[in-house]
């Protein structure tokens, strides 16, 4: 089906990428499970590891439309996307400037794999152009960012990074998992490659793992060679489930972000709470930047710091709706202590330096009724504390 070029986000979520069932007239993309394709007649060479089968293309086209990407790829996980991109583009001797507070699994990949191949990594707090000036070397090839970051919801100035990179002929890479393309479009701000852990908001129901990478045809073609070699590809049946999930991405994340905004404001006024970290609050130290680079909302991830009298474990155990669990981005609200989950392997001293305390909890706000979420937090804040 040919869609008008002018369609907007919600329409893209529902319609972009759909490969209408021409044989039967069905309105959904049929699931084509073949991993073997005829070649003697004039058929295109297809094979799922080459990421060129119809169900893979349907979801790639949908996410490309949302991120305004010329070309994209889907992978069996977010790390599958990150590893293929970095291995595909970098060579021994190359240097990468990496935002210091990126996702732990990404940092682990850089430490344990990339560095073994002679790729040099500098973890840098990217708060200003001066930080980048201080970190750049003649061998620098790429800047890697993730905004908002986990767990304190710090922002990186996407346009600033993109402008700096253009001046120095560097490739820029942005992990857009937390914001989703509904609230932030890094490619529109001058970034070269955008990545998602589709495991989070794109799947949206905490039941599918996949990854996405989008950018210019030139970069994606180069990365596709690495994907074919590394093999982190995606099965047709799963692609269909992803396509189904993505049709409701906008309404899920908009509702979750509305809940997050209201809860952040409410928590900030609660005298059992020390501090709330949410980019949509005027008290967030980068609220102006948030308004500049985020669109139509501020996402549904936040953290808050419990006052010292409140035991964070007892608090989480007392919750009846919000589930203490690792991961994020589902329709259900999830909560967790960074010191016991994402930042467990980091020493207390390092966490102190990062400003992360044992009283901090990270909150992936879901789409439940706001009153039930408030009541649940309230009863747990008073339970036994
Ligand atoms: C989960 C996550 C990843 C890794 O994605 P997987 O799908 O688990 O491989 C990368 N970045 C961010 C921000 C994440 O939350």
Give the residue-averaged pLDDT of 72-78.
97
Distance (Å, whole) CA 337 – CA 237:
34
Q: How many domains does the chain have?
A: 2
Indicate whether 21 and 158 sit together in one domain: yes
Which residue minimizes the CA distance to atom 11 of ligand 1? 103
**187 domain-assigned:** yes
pLDDT at 353 over 90: no
pLDDT at 385 over 70: no
Residue in the structure block whose two tokens are 């009153």: 371
CA distances for 353 relative to 284, 350, 356, angstroms: 19, 5, 8
Please report which confidence band the pLDDT of residue 42 belongs to, taking 50, 70 and 90 as the band edges. confident
| Predicted pLDDT of residue 344 | 87
- Among 85, 102, 103, say which to mutate for ligand 1: greatest number of ligand atoms within 8 Å of CB: 103
Answer with the one of 207, 231, 246 that is the final residue of a domain: 246
d(CA 212, ligand 1 centre) in Å = 11
pLDDT by residue (tens digit) across 8-27? 999 999 999 999 988 999 99
d(CA 42, ligand 1 centre) in Å = 40
Please report which confidence band the pLDDT of residue 1 belongs to, taking 50, 70 and 90 as the band edges. low
Answer with the one of 189, 211, 246 that is the final residue of a domain: 246
Domain containing 280 — which CATH number? 3.90.1150.10
> CB of 101 closer than 6 A to ligand 1?
no
Residue ranges making up the domain that contains 80: 9-246
Indicate whether 140 and 173 sit together in one domain: yes
Distance (Å, whole) CA 94 – CA 86:
11
The count of other CB atoms within 10 Å of the CB of residue 188 is: 15
pLDDT by residue (tens digit) across 358-374? 999 999 999 999 999 99
Q: Which two tokens stand for residue 163?
A: 């402008």
> CB of 78 closer than 6 A to ligand 1?
yes
d(CA 27, ligand 1 centre) in Å = 32
Distance (Å, whole) CA 129 – CA 120:
20
Please report which confidence band the pLDDT of residue 2 belongs to, taking 50, 70 and 90 as the band edges. confident
pLDDT at 354 over 80: yes
Indicate whether 90 and 104 sit together in one domain: yes
pLDDT at 91 over 90: yes
**296 domain-assigned:** yes
Give the residue-averaged pLDDT of 335-351.
90
**4 domain-assigned:** no
pTM: 0.97
CB 223 within 8 A of CB 86: no
**2 domain-assigned:** no
Answer with the one of 194, 217, 246 that is the final residue of a domain: 246
Domain containing 21 — which CATH number? 3.40.640.10
- Among 76, 145, 154, 177, say which to mutate for ligand 1: greatest number of ligand atoms within 8 Å of CB: 177
Distance (Å, whole) CA 196 – CA 187:
13
pLDDT by residue (tens digit) across 113-151? 999 999 999 999 999 999 999 999 999 999 999 999 999
Which among 332, 363, 354, 298 is positioned nearest to 148, based on CA atoms? 298
* Ligand 1 atom closest to the CA of 210, numbered from 1: 7
Q: Any idea how long the chain is?
A: 385
Give the residue-averaged pLDDT of 161-188.
98
pLDDT by residue (tens digit) across 281-291? 999 999 999 99
Give the residue-averaged pLDDT of 227-233.
96
Residue 138: beta bridge partners? none
* Ligand 1 atom closest to the CA of 80, numbered from 1: 9
Give the residue-averaged pLDDT of 36-54.
91
* Ligand 1 atom closest to the CA of 177, numbered from 1: 13
């Amino acid at each position: 089906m040919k869609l008008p070029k002018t369609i907007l986000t919600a329409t893209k979520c529902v319609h972009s990428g759909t490969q209408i069932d021409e044989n039967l007239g069905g309105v959904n993309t049929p699931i084509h499970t073949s991993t073997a394709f005829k070649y003697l007649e004039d058929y295109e060479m297809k094979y799922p590891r080459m990421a060129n089968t119809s169900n893979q293309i349907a979801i790639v086209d949908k996410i490309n439309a949302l991120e305004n990407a010329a070309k994209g790829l889907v992978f069996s996980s977010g790390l599958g996307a990150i590893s293929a991109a970095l291995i595909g583009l970098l060579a021994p001797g190359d240097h990468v400037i990496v935002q210091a507070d990126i996702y732990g699994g990404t940092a682990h990949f850089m430490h344990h794999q990339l560095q073994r191949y002679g790729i040099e990594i500098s973890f840098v707090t990217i708060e200003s152009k001066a930080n980048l000036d201080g970190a750049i070397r003649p061998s620098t090839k790429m800047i890697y960012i993730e905004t908002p970051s986990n767990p304190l919801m710090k922002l990186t100035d996407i346009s600033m990074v993109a402008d700096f990179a253009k001046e120095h002929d560097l490739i820029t890479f942005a992990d857009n998992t937390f914001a989703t393309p509904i609230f932030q479009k890094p490619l529109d701000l001058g970034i070269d490659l955008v990545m998602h852990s589709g495991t989070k908001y794109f799947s949206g129901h905490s039941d599918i793992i996949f990854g996405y990478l989008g950018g210019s045809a030139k970069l994606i073609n180069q990365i596709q060679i690495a994907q074919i070699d590394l093999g982190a590809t995606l099965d047709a049946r799963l692609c269909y489930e992803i396509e189904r999930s993505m049709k409701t991405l906008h309404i899920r994340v908009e509702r979750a972000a509305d809940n997050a905004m209201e809860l952040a404001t409410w928590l900030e006024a609660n005298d059992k709470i020390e501090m709330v970290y949410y980019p949509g609050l005027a008290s967030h130290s980068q609220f102006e930047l948030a308004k500049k680079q985020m669109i139509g909302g501020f996402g549904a991830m936040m953290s808050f710091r419990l006052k010292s009298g409140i035991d964070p474990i007892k608090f989480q155990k007392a919750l009846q709706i919000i589930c203490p669990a690792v991961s994020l981005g589902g329709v259900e609200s999830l909560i967790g202590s960074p010191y016991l989950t994402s930042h467990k392997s980091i020493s207390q001293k390092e966490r102190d330096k990062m400003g992360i305390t044992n009283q901090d909890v990270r909150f992936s706000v879901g789409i439940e009724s706001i009153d039930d979420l408030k009541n649940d937090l309230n009863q747990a804040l008073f339970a036994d504390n």
